[in-house]
Amino acid sequence: MRIEILRGDITTRRVDAIVNAANSSLLGGGGVDGAIHRAAGTELLEACRELRRTQLQDGLPVGDAAATPAFRLPARWVIHTVGPNRHAGQTDPALLASCFRQSLRVAAGLGARSIAFPAISAGIYGWDAGQVAEVAFDAVRSFSSSASASGAEDSPLELVEFVLFSEETTAVFRAVFNSSPKGDS
């Protein structure tokens, strides 16, 4: 599985799935969540409302993931995940890792070959970008290793992008990636 780090706007990525750093309600918000909802159009909000009515009446739990079509985005799907909020006392890195793992699992289940992630929880949720990068890369590598061990046909994922809005966060992700023992994945 190839990992790429890009500075840019995740809503413009031509990948099979983009990951939305959503809130539990799935009804839109600020930051990446708001940008994705604006770019996808009102159909995304309706699809999220339907998820809430049918499968997620109590909202999407922290660390879990669910998919909707991407509507007006160049991607095929939006995978919504709720990152832990440090300001609310959610400081367990396992919750953050679960966001990445569950998003990859959902993407693989959809047959996605490519996926783009933002820096989940690194914005308003107060996590350090370096820690997010470490957790994210570990989760991707672990997912890739387990998929390889169980047979390549189990996961069609070939490309994982980290699409970061600021130059500062992009530089942090690149530094963490290049300093990791498997920085050439």
The residues that are catalytic are 33
Angle made by CA atoms 149, 153, 158, in degrees to the nearest 5 = 90
Question: Amino acid identity, residue 112?
Answer: A
In sequence order, what are the residues at sequence separation of 6 or more whose Cβ sits closer than 8 angstroms to the Cβ of residue 109?
none
Distance between CA atoms of residues 127 and 164, nearest Å: 15
Under DSSP, is residue 55 helix (H, G, I), strand (E, B) or coil? coil
Q: CB–CB of 22/60 below 8 Å?
A: yes
Question: Amino acid identity, residue 165?
Answer: F
Q: CB–CB of 27/48 below 8 Å?
A: yes
